[in-house]
């Protein structure tokens, strides 16, 4: 695999994910640039509340750089 070649990213991610006994977060496809920006703006800008390994709630983070 050449530097910068992410064509096998889904498979590699899922190998590590399964080795760590993943329950959530299995990769299905590589996101387009637009999908990645949307993911960052909706998912990574939230504060999550956990109970054990489960997400039980979320709220929008207060980050003026993103909004």
Q: What is the pLDDT of residues 55-65, one digit of tens each?
A: 777 677 665 55
Q: Which of 21, 27, 23, 22 is CA-nearest to residue 9?
A: 27
* Residue 56, both tokens: 């039980």
- Give the domain ranges of the chain: 1-30, 32-67
pTM: 0.50
Q: Which residue has the higher pLDDT, 45 or 24?
A: 24
């Amino acid at each position: 695999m050449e530097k910068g070649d992410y064509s096998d990213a889904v498979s590699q991610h899922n190998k590590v994910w399964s080795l760590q006994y993943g329950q959530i977060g299995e990769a299905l496809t590589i996101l387009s640039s637009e999908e990645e920006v949307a993911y960052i703006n909706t998912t990574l800008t939230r504060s999550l509340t956990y109970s054990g390994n489960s997400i039980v709630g979320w709220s929008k983070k207060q980050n003026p750089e993103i909004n």
